[in-house]
Amino acid sequence: MPWDRARVEELKPEISRLIDRLADGMRRFATIAELPEELPRPRPPASPADLARYEGYLELSLPSSYRAFLELHDGYDFLVPTGPMLWTTAAQPGGEFFERIRDWKTTTAEYGSGEVLDGIVIAYHGQPNSWTYLDPNQPRDDGELAIVKFSPEMSVDFPDIMSFLAHCIEIVDLSIEQFSS
């Protein structure tokens, strides 16, 4: 199912609110933990041409919630705990994360988790085997794809980008609480 322009526009305020909350939490954590190099840094919005190239590379339409995110920010450094939300060119051939993603997918599949092979990686969590991806094998009736936060110990599925960002906010809030104790 192709993305829906009205739905993208409808989702932007909520996604923007969640991004702001998460970025604020990540700034507080980076300050408390004395990690100035891990301050969140937004990237500019993806252009229509960037999105068309990315969808052409993927050979599918992005779900409305993720497209709304990319229209707000084509990636965001240190928005998720310990890493970036990836930008459209990062996971494509020649991109900064392309080789690492390919190696992770290959190795992970060799160890029995072949479901990651079709994944559209959207975030890196700072560890070689810790990525978040859209799963085109788990579509919903509304055109959204499940978002899978993968680590070798455990994977967690989310119905959309909003749920994933809310989860990241909870993790950051807990980390701040624990670090401050």
Residues 167-178 pLDDT 10s: 999 999 999 999
**What pLDDT shows up at residue 75?**
97
**Which position has the token pair 């499940």?**
146
Q: What does the pLDDT read at residue 78?
A: 95
Average pLDDT over residues 7-22: 97
Task: Please report the pLDDT score of residue 110 as a whole number.
Answer: 92
Return the H-helix or E-strand segment holding 30. helix 5-32
Please state at what angle helix 64-72 crosses helix 161-180, rounded to 10 degrees: 60
Question: What does the pLDDT look like over 68-108, one tens digit per residue?
Answer: 999 999 999 999 988 999 999 999 999 999 999 999 999 99
What digits encode the pLDDT tens for the residues 119-177?
999 999 988 899 999 999 999 988 899 999 998 888 999 999 999 999 999 999 999 99
**36 pLDDT higher than 60:** yes
Instruction: Mark 115-146 as b/e (b = at least 16 C-beta within 10 Å).
Output: bbeebbbbbbbeeeebbbbbbeeeeeeebbbb
Separation CA 19–CA 102 (nearest Å): 28
Q: What confidence score (pLDDT) does residue 152 get?
A: 84
pLDDT at residue number 181 = 77
d(CA 171, CA 107): 27
Phi, psi dihedrals of residue 130, rounded to the nearest 5°: -125, 100
Please report the pLDDT score of residue 1 as a whole number.
56
Give the tokens for residue 13: 């305020």
